[in-house]
């Protein structure tokens, strides 16, 4: 499983960083040369954009296994942006939970 977390550090002050979104990418095809992946993403609420916390799940198929790891970050980010997001009412949602799935 590949885990991507975005943790901004306000003004570079690392002790104040917090996870604002997370992405878990799991191979569902036994590490074949051409693989299929399950993607789960979560976002904390964004008051500046008036957007609630959200979660989404999707898949991407036929990913060549011999690419650099950055291709395995780029593609799931693209597909999760287009996924059907479900808004959550919890104002304290922690996107780190997607890592535990």
pLDDT digits (tens, 9 = 90+) for 3-59: 999 999 999 999 998 888 999 999 998 877 889 999 999 998 888 888 889 999 999
pLDDT of residue 97: 67
Distance CA 98, CA 28 (A): 16
pLDDT of residue 98: 62
Distance CA 82, CA 41 (A): 11
Q: Is the pLDDT of residue 101 over 80?
A: no
């Amino acid at each position: 499983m590949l885990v991507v977390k975005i943790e901004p550090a306000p003004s570079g002050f690392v002790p104040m960083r917090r996870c604002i979104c997370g992405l878990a990418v799991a191979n569902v095809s036994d590490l074949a040369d051409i693989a299929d992946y399950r993607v789960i993403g979560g976002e904390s609420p964004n008051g500046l954009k008036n957007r609630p916390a959200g979660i989404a799940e999707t898949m991407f198929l036929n990913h060549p296994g011999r690419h650099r790891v950055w291709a395995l970050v780029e593609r799931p980010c693209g597909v999760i942006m287009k996924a059907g997001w479900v808004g959550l009412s919890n104002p304290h949602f922690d996107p780190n939970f997607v890592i535990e799935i």
